[in-house]
A and B are shown apart, each in its own frame.
Chain A
Amino acid sequence: MTAAGATGPAVLAAHGVSFAYGADPAVTAVDLTVTPGEFVALVGPNGSGKSTLLRLLLGLLTPDAGTVELLGHPPRALRERWRVGYVPQRRILDLDVPATVTEVVASGRTARRGWWKPPRPADRAAVEHALDAVAIADLRRRPVGALSGGQQQRVLIARALVAEPTVLVLDEPIAGVDRESQRLFRDSLVHLVEHHDTAVLLVSHELGAVADDLDRVVVLQRRVRFDGPPSELAATGVHLGVHADDLPRWLEDLQA
């Protein structure tokens, strides 16, 4: 969105990163940079290594080869970790917790405040703001275990937003979220990118809602198959609509 995104130091960077869980490589020789205020989507079929790449970028996994930088530092050396917001893939997170929406969202603020400190008014205001950003203020007192999948997803997004991060990494955040909420979600992402210079790296199978706002699309299938503006990808016949069914076919053609 912002052309200025092309300059400045990278907030996320992978240089020649490879990783294998066992014998089979999950990602191979990946180069990827995201600069401040940039809005980047990472797409690819199931099992193409998207979540693995995010986990490498966040320092949750250590690459077998290559290097990763988070806000200009090796992940382990970064001090202000709260500046990185993360929304994990919900289906691998069990939200059967006896906790209210407010409690879960507020937990996203603990690291920024300092984990030994009690919440202050500014923290409570940030929670209210985050609840509003994904329109779950009505649900604030509900136990998260009693929410629908899409509502739980919005709780996780709010938990990442509440720390007001510099870079936001989201793994399929809008899976199972209805259209109206997707629109709200898009608006809050665009607001963050435009007004707070937040960089966003979004993994999603449903890019329809944000396709017009993206600066870049990265297509991953173990390797980076494409990295450029969405219009260029569209020119090859790939559309970023719901589930982007044409993407796997296009990738097959590439390999043939």
Chain B
Amino acid sequence: MSGGLAGIAGLAVLPLPWPFEREYMQLALAAGLVIGICAPLIGTFLVQQRLSLMGDGIGHLALAGIAAGLLLEVWPVWSAMVVAAVGALSIEWLRSRRRATSDLALALWFYGGIAGGVVLASRSTGGSGAILPYLFGSILTVDRSEVLLVVLLGLGIVVAVAAFGRTLFAIVIDEESARVAGLPVGAGNALLAVLTAVTVVAAMQVVGVLLVAALMVLPVATSRNLARSFRGTLAGAAGIGAFAVVAGLAAARQWALAPGGSIVLVAAGTFAVVGVVGGRTGTRRTVLVEAPAPGTAPVTGRDPHEDHDHDHPGSGSG
């Protein structure tokens, strides 16, 4: 990140080793690291809230926002931000009012967004091709002002997570109890929705709307399998996201691959490797269980009404 900031400040190109010795790679690295760190931070809360595909739904809406901006001849980032934020809040509203299940609400925006984007873009001067750069991102051609925008949005996301993370945690693990305790559940959920929109728009030029959601989910899925604490899950997800950006950019440079896709493939590969090494398949949590502490009373009587479709890996044994 500091490399990008130095670049923005107009300083000399930093003496970084291959593959980041060139200025365009340093700018790509700066923008990529911000997204690689921020997207999983937000994603950790979304995954816990069973809104893993939120980033995807918002991404498609942001695309419609881009197309609207091109048509109205306003800065597309602004129009995308407005449309994405309004869309995110409306998904949250539908979810909280139970007007629609979250996956139905997401599907609505997912398809409505991409259809709206294509239709709006076909009316603009560039034709539907004008939205293509936002579909797949163009991280290798970001300029300094774009990097600066990404860095500022990223800082906002990190500050918000640092300040409100504990409240968001209490809400995503048990919304009803958080409500009883008087936590601002509605405001917290709205904040999360807006942060998702900000992340998507910031990531649009870097990995593209089609792939930003992957960075919100894949590093989180990997980290959930490794970490024991929520704090550790957040840190691990951000670390894996950052690793995917560095390795993905290096691979893209070496073999002339599409950078956004390479970054996401590294994130997916990391998940697969951790899943295999962890010895489990599927999405089930792999929990590293320590030996039961002495004096821990074993459970004898279980609730006879309890449903049995959850099993608790390693409960009492290990």
Contacts and interface: CB of A to CB of B under 8 A. Distances in A.
A152 B298 CA distance: 13
Interface string A117-148: 01100000000000000010011011101111
Interface stretch (B26-34, B72-80, B101-109, B288-296): B288-296
Interface stretch (A12-20, A84-92, A231-239): A84-92
A88 B174 contact: yes
Interface string A90-111: 1101111111100110111011
A142 B314 CA distance: 11
B4 to A, nearest CB: 29
Contact of A81 (B166, B180, B310, B314): B180
A143 B180 contact: no
B306 A177 contact: no
B206 to A, nearest CB: 27
Given A104-B173, A149-B306, A150-B299, A96 B183 contact: no
B169 interface: yes
Given A104-B173, A138-B296, A149 B230 contact: no
Contact of A175 (B294, B298, B305): B305
B167 A110 contact: yes
A151 interface: yes
A58 B182 CA distance: 11
Contact of B229 (A59, A100, A110): A100
Contact of A100 (B228, B294, B307, B316): B228
B21 interface: no
A212 B290 CA distance: 38
A141 B313 CA distance: 16
A149 B184 contact: no
A138 B295 contact: yes
Contacts of B289: 142, 146
B166 A146 contact: no
B299 A148 contact: yes
Contacts of B184: 115
Nearest to A97: B173
B199 interface: no
A46 interface: yes
Contact of A149 (B166, B183, B303, B318): B303
Contacts of B227: 98
A197 B167 CA distance: 28
Interface stretch (A21-29, A34-42, A178-186): A178-186
- Classify chain B: how many residues form its interface, as a range: 35 or more
Contacts of B231: 103
Nearest to B174: A93
Q: Which of B163, B181, B223: most chain A CB closer than 10 A?
A: B181
Interface string B169-180: 110011011111
Contacts of B315: 146-149, 151
A214 to B, nearest CB: 21
A60 interface: yes
B182 A80 contact: yes
A99 B169 contact: yes
Given A81-B182, A110-B183, A91 B303 contact: yes
A176 B290 contact: no
Contacts of B48: 97
Interface residues of A, number: 59
Contacts of A93: 174
Nearest to B293: A138
Contacts of A179: 300-301
A46 B315 CA distance: 27
A172 interface: yes
A110 B170 contact: yes
A145 B318 CA distance: 14
A97 B227 CA distance: 11
A149 B306 CA distance: 9
Contacts of B174: 88, 93
A96 B285 CA distance: 8
Contacts of A145: 285, 287, 312-313
A48 to B, nearest CB: 13
A215 B301 CA distance: 26
A202 to B, nearest CB: 15
Contacts of A103: 169, 229-231
Contacts of B305: 46, 91, 175
Given A115-B167, A149-B312, A160-B177, 13 more contacts: A60-B180, A79-B182, A86-B181, A91-B306, A91-B307, A107-B173, A115-B166, A135-B297, A138-B293, A146-B313, A148-B312, A149-B302, A178-B298
Interface of A: 46, 58-60, 78-82, 84, 86, 88, 90-91, 93-100, 103-104, 106-108, 110-112, 115-116, 118-119, 135, 138-139, 141-143, 145-152, 159-160, 163, 172, 175-181
Interface of B: 48, 163-164, 166-167, 169-170, 173-174, 176-184, 223-224, 227-233, 285, 287, 289-290, 293-303, 305-307, 310, 312-316, 318
Going nearest first, the 6 A-B pairs with the smallest beta carbon separation are A81-B182, A175-B303, A138-B293, A111-B181, A176-B303, A99-B230
